[in-house]
Amino acid sequence: MKIDRLSIVLPCHNEESNIPELIKELSLVLKPFAFTYEIIFVDDGSKDSTFKIINDISKSNKFVKGYALSRNFGHQIALLAGIENATGDVIITMDADLQHPPEIIPQLIEKYEDGYDIVNTRRKYDKKTTVFKKTSSKWFYILINKLSDIKIEPQSSDFRLMNREAVDAFLKMKEHNRFTRGLIRWIGFEQTIIDYETNERFSGQSSYSLKKMITLAIDGVTSMSSKPLRLSLYLGFIFFVSGLVYGTYVMFNYFSGINITGWTSILISILIIGGIQLLILSIIGEYVAKIFNEVKSRPLYLIKAKTHK
C-alpha cells in the first residue's frame, strides 16, 4: 500500500525547547518520501511558550499545524485530539521530547508497506534509564496484565503507526477513560511490533510524576477490565471460611473447658475486616466514578486556538 498523506501527531506539555529540533529532525526524515505530510502538535495546556513557538513556525512551514487545548487534559486525551484532527491516510503518534527517535519512522513505514494495519513499538532500555523508571514500568505492566483482560507488551509506548481503518475503529470508542495502549490491543487488526532504543529527553522535564503513573495504572486496569470487582468475592470467601474454622476451634475449646480470652483476636479481626471492606468499597467507588464520568458525557477536550483556519 502506497501512502498518500502521512500525519504525525505529537502531544506536548511544556516542550518549548524541543519543538524546533523535533521539526528539524522530522523534516529531514520525511523529505525523501514521495507522499505529502503534516506535523500536528497538540499543546496540552502548557505553561511555557510551546504554542507560541508552534504558531510562529507554522507561519513559515506549511507542514506544521497546531492545536491548543483549553487546559491540561493529559497525554492520552491530547493524543486523541491530535488523532481526531489528523487528515492523513496513515498516522504516526509520538512524544514531543525526542525520546521516540524520528529515525525509526522509515522502519514503521516499511512494516506498513508489508501490509500491517498497526505498527507498535517497544523501547529497549539503556544504561541511562533510571532504576525508578524501570521498576515502576515493570510493575505497571505486571499489574495491567494480571488484572485486565487484554495483554499489553511490556515497554510498549504510544509511538505507533496506524492506517485509516485502524484510526477510524479507534475513534469509534468514545469512552472518557482512555488507555490508548489497551484500546489499540482491543480493536485487533493486523498488528506488529518493532524495537527501538530510547533516547534521553532532548531537554525539559518529564511530565509523568509517580502520581500520574499510578493514576494511569489504575485507569488502565479499571477501564480495561472488571476483574478487580471479583476480588471482593474471593476475599469474602476466604474470610468466611476462616471465620468458620476459627468458630469451630472456639467451640471445641469451650466444650473442652478451656476459656479463650479474646481482646487481641477481636481487635485484629476488626482491623483486618474493616480494612478489606474499605479496600473493596474503594474499588467499587472507582467503577462508580467511571460510570459517573461517562454518564455526564462531557466533551473529551476543548480546543481554544489553532494555527490555521
CB of 207 to ligand UDP, least distance (A): 3
Contact 179, 224 (CB under 8 A): yes
Among 40, 68, 96, 221, binds ligand UDP (CB under 6 A): 96
Binding mask 1-40 for ligand UDP (x = CB under 6 A): ----------xxx-x-------------------------
Q: Which three cell numbers stand for residue 105?
A: 519512522
Q: Which is nearer to ligand UDP, 41 or 112 (CB)?
A: 41
Contact 10, 43 (CB under 8 A): no
Q: Which is nearer to ligand UDP, 35 or 208 (CB)?
A: 208
Q: Which is nearer to Mg ion, 113 or 126 (CB)?
A: 126
Among the listed residues 70, 68, 72, the one whose alpha carbon sits nearest the alpha carbon of residue 82: 68
- Among Mg ion, ligand UDP, none, the one that 207 touches (CB under a kind-dependent 5 to 8 A) is ligand UDP
Q: How far apart are CA 275 and CA 272, in angstroms?
A: 5
CA 51 to chain centre: 23
User: Per CB under 5 A, which of residues 82..111 are in contact with Mg ion?
Assistant: 95, 97, 99
When CB distances to ligand UDP are compared, the closest residue is: 206
Q: How far apart are CA 212 and CA 74, in angstroms?
A: 9
CB of 79 to ligand UDP, least distance (A): 7
Among the listed residues 47, 44, 109, the one whose alpha carbon sits nearest the alpha carbon of residue 82: 44
- Among Mg ion, ligand UDP, none, the one that 15 touches (CB under a kind-dependent 5 to 8 A) is ligand UDP
Q: Which is nearer to ligand UDP, 9 or 118 (CB)?
A: 9
Binding mask 198-217 for ligand UDP (x = CB under 6 A): --------xxx---------
Label residue 80 exposed, middle or buried (CB < 10 Å: 0-12, 13-18, 19+).
buried
At 191, which helix (H) or strand (E)? strand 191-197
- Among Mg ion, ligand UDP, none, the one that 117 touches (CB under a kind-dependent 5 to 8 A) is none
Contact 22, 98 (CB under 8 A): yes
Full DSSP string of 131-187: HHHHHHHHHHHHHHHHHSSS---TTB-S-EEEEHHHHHHHHH---SS--HHHHHHHH
Beta bridge partners of 124: 197
CB of 125 to Mg ion, least distance (A): 14
Q: How far apart are CA 241 and CA 112, in angstroms?
A: 55
CB of 129 to Mg ion, least distance (A): 11
- Among Mg ion, ligand UDP, none, the one that 74 touches (CB under a kind-dependent 5 to 8 A) is ligand UDP
CB of 73 to ligand UDP, least distance (A): 7
- Among ligand UDP, Mg ion, none, the one that 78 touches (CB under a kind-dependent 5 to 8 A) is ligand UDP
The footprint of Mg ion (CB under 5 A) covers 95, 97, 99
The footprint of ligand UDP (CB under 6 A) covers 11-13, 15, 44, 72, 74-75, 78, 95-97, 99, 206-208
